[in-house]
């Protein structure tokens, strides 16, 4: 007779995906172990800082009244930076704040709060412990191994983040490719609440979230930047193409964040601030092509470990995909326990749940979007063309005025792109975005 497992489920990783899975399963009465290598949870994470959506409401009703978020997004900006200019689309709306769909968070605080909620739900939470690999017997995952010890469970949910070493070392997913990930570098800059409100034209809990294309970097390197207002600090960082960094060989991510911070239209927003934290981490960027096999006999993979993040150049999201996938994995585990069946066939319901949610549907609908967001057109051509157009529009030189169509064609010509190529490329981008 086979011995009973020590736990119904073991979750590896106490980020939003792992804690959401643990909360859901523990709330249903399952015996859950949540293991996190950081101590406390959240200290090894680099996040853009905006939690979009209300997925937490499914497992923590009224979570907004309890969670340690910093501000609610009222102002959302998308900008293109050249060496001398900032071309910014800045959308400000009271409706954004009223709907409260975007919450600016500091992951070190949010993850610790989520881990406490998992403990309150009944899960056993252990931090500061690194799981080495999953334990496999006769092709079935039976638990995890750490320091020579085996901890058994009926199912293991791997939610270990963007660098999923356990899944890779256990042979449950292939190694990461350069095109699957980018390097994220972030600084937390202390400014003070009053100064932030003044500089970003904010009041109360209202916050600013901005993402930027860094169109002024050395040829061959592409990166995006972000700047989010916390209560009394600012989160500033960059996401740099791993493929470009490796190919370039002479540019480093820490140089790029300094160039971003020193840009003439970014520097005034953080002037006088003191850097309190500096961190770097991998960021998932592979889209649907980077999603591995999501389940097997006795295991499921969720969150960043599964490649669940989304960016179309205007919207950058990850935490809501992590939470939704963690909940889907938990619901699948609960159903599997009710039938005492944790086989690959039974856990296939996990993928069905993801297909019925926005998680996999978004990645499939936006297949190939990385060809837009990391293209030379977005990072090189568009910033220069927009700069040229607005310079001509807003400069008075006592010369006859040109129609906008002529100004655009002149700017395209200076960028080296043919008008016909621009039309084709624009159509291709719009279809993918």
Is pLDDT at 278 greater than 50 in this prediction?
Answer: yes
Answer yes or no: are the C-beta atoms of 362 and 53 closer than 8 Å. Answer: no
Q: Which of 53, 73, 97, 51 is nearest to 208 (CA)?
A: 73
Return the pLDDT at 230.
96
CA atoms within 13 A on the CB side of 371: 12
Domain-terminating residue out of 284, 313, 335: 284
The alpha carbon of residue 297 and the mean position of all alpha carbons in its chain are separated, in whole angstroms, by 28
DSSP label of 76: E
Pairing label, strands 133-137, 32-36: unpaired
Asked if residue 143 and residue 167 are part of one domain, the reply reads yes
Is pLDDT at 1 greater than 50 in this prediction?
Answer: no
Asked if residue 134 and residue 43 are part of one domain, the reply reads yes
Asked if residue 139 and residue 24 are part of one domain, the reply reads yes
Helices 358-365 and 319-339 pack at an angle, to 10 degrees, of 130
Answer yes or no: are the C-beta atoms of 159 and 36 closer than 8 Å. Answer: no
> What is the Cα–Cα distance from 172 to 305, expressed in whole angstroms?
11
**Which residue carries 């989520």 as its tokens?**
114
76 lies in a domain? no
Between 241 and 299, residue with greater pLDDT? 299
DSSP label of 176: P
Q: How confident is the model at residue 238 (pLDDT cuts 50, 70, 90)?
A: very high
Asked if residue 253 and residue 187 are part of one domain, the reply reads yes
**Which residue carries 């990461």 as its tokens?**
176
Domain-terminating residue out of 319, 351, 367: 367
pLDDT in tens, 213-226: 999 987 778 899 99
First to last CA, the chain: 55
274 lies in a domain? yes
Is pLDDT at 431 greater than 60 in this prediction?
Answer: yes
19 lies in a domain? yes
pLDDT in tens, 306-322: 999 988 877 788 999 99
Mean of per-residue pLDDT scores for the chain: 89
Question: CA geometry: angle at 54 spanning 52 and 56, to 5°?
Answer: 110
pLDDT in tens, 162-195: 999 999 999 999 999 888 888 889 999 999 999 9
Domain-terminating residue out of 367, 394, 419: 367
325 lies in a domain? yes
Q: Which domain holds residue 361?
A: 7-70+105-174+292-367
Is pLDDT at 427 greater than 60 in this prediction?
Answer: no
Put residue 201 in one of left, alpha, beta given phi > 0 → left and psi -120 to 50 → alpha. left
Q: Number of structural domains, the chain?
A: 3
Q: Is 14 exposed, middle or buried (0-12, 13-18, 19+ CB in 10 A)?
A: buried
Asked if residue 153 and residue 189 are part of one domain, the reply reads no
Asked if residue 356 and residue 279 are part of one domain, the reply reads no
Asked if residue 270 and residue 191 are part of one domain, the reply reads yes
191 lies in a domain? yes
Asked if residue 56 and residue 170 are part of one domain, the reply reads yes
Asked if residue 407 and residue 305 are part of one domain, the reply reads no
Asked if residue 301 and residue 391 are part of one domain, the reply reads no
Task: Please report, for the domain that includes residue 115, its CATH number.
Answer: 3.50.50.60
Return the pLDDT at 354.
98
Question: pTM to 2 decimals?
Answer: 0.91
Is pLDDT at 79 greater than 80 in this prediction?
Answer: yes
Q: Kindly give the residue spans of alpha helices, DSSP state H, lying in 140-241.
A: 165-169, 193-199
100 lies in a domain? no
**Which residue carries 């800045």 as its tokens?**
90
Q: How confident is the model at residue 428 (pLDDT cuts 50, 70, 90)?
A: low
> What is the Cα–Cα distance from 372 to 43, expressed in whole angstroms?
32
Pairing label, strands 206-214, 71-81: parallel
pLDDT in tens, 121-149: 999 999 999 999 999 999 999 999 988 89
Answer yes or no: are the C-beta atoms of 172 and 140 closer than 8 Å. Answer: no
Asked if residue 183 and residue 168 are part of one domain, the reply reads no
Q: What are the phi and psi torsion angles at 334 (to 5°)?
A: -60, -45
90 lies in a domain? no
Q: Which of 316, 429, 312 is nearest to 377 (CA)?
A: 429
- Give 3-state DSSP helix, strand, coil % of the chain, rounded to 5: 40, 25, 35
132 lies in a domain? yes
Answer yes or no: are the C-beta atoms of 294 and 306 closer than 8 Å. Answer: yes
Q: How confident is the model at residue 303 (pLDDT cuts 50, 70, 90)?
A: very high
Retrieve residue 170's tokens: 């256990």
Question: CA geometry: angle at 264 spanning 258 and 267, to 5°?
Answer: 55
Average pLDDT over residues 40-46: 74
Retrieve residue 146's tokens: 């750490």
Asked if residue 236 and residue 209 are part of one domain, the reply reads yes
Retrieve residue 168's tokens: 């890779």
Average pLDDT over residues 240-248: 82
> What is the Cα–Cα distance from 87 to 90, expressed in whole angstroms?
10
Answer yes or no: are the C-beta atoms of 118 and 125 closer than 8 Å. Answer: yes
Return the pLDDT at 220.
72
């Amino acid at each position: 007779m086979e011995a009973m497992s020590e736990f119904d489920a073991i979750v590896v990783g106490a980020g939003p995906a792992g804690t959401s899975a643990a909360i859901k399963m523990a709330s249903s009465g399952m015996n859950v172990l949540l293991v996190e290598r950081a101590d406390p949870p959240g200290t090894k994470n680099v996040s853009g800082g905006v939690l979009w959506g209300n997925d937490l409401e499914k497992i923590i009703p009224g979570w907004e009244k309890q969670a340690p978020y910093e501000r609610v997004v009222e102002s959302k900006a998308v900008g293109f930076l050249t060496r001398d200019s900032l071309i910014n689309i800045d959308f400000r709306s009271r409706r954004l704040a009223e709907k409260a769909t975007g919450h600016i968070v500091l992951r070190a605080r949010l993850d610790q709060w989520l881990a406490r909620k998992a403990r309150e739900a009944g899960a056993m939470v252990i931090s500061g412990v690194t799981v080495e690999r999953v334990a496999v017997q006769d092709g079935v995952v039976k638990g995890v191994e750490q320091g020579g010890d085996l901890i058994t469970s009926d199912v293991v949910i791997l939610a270990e983040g963007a660098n999923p070493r356990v899944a890779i070392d256990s042979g449950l997913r292939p190694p990461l490719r350069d095109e699957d990930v980018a390097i994220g570098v972030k600084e937390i800059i202390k400014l003070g609440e009053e100064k932030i409100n003044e500089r970003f034209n904010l009041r109360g809990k209202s916050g600013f979230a901005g993402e930027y294309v860094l169109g002024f970097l050395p040829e061959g390197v592409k990166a995006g930047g972000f700047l989010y207002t916390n209560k009394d600090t600012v989160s500033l960082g960059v996401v740099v193409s791993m493929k470009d960094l490796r190919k370039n060989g002479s540019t480093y991510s820490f140089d790029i964040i300094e160039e971003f911070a020193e840009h003439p239209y970014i520097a005034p927003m953080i002037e006088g601030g003191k850097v309190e934290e500096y961190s770097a981490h991998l960021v998932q960027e592979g889209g649907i092509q980077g999603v591995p096999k999501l389940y097997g006999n006795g295991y499921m993979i969720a969150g960043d470990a599964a490649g669940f993040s989304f960016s179309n150049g205007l919207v950058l999201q990850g935490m809501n995909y992590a939470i939704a996938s963690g909940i889907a994995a938990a619901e699948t585990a609960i159903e599997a326990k009710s039938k005492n069946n944790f086989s690959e066939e039974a856990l296939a319901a996990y993928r069905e749940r993801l297909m019925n949610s926005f998680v996999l549907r978004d990645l499939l609908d936006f297949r190939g979007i990385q060809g837009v967001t990391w293209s030379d057109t977005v990072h090189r051509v568009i910033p220069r063309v927009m700069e040229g157009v607005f310079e001509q529009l807003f400069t008075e030189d006592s010369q006859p005025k040109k129609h906008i169509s002529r100004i655009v064609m002149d700017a395209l010509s200076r960028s080296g792109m043919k008008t016909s190529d621009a039309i084709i490329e624009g159509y291709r981008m719009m279809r993918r975005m």
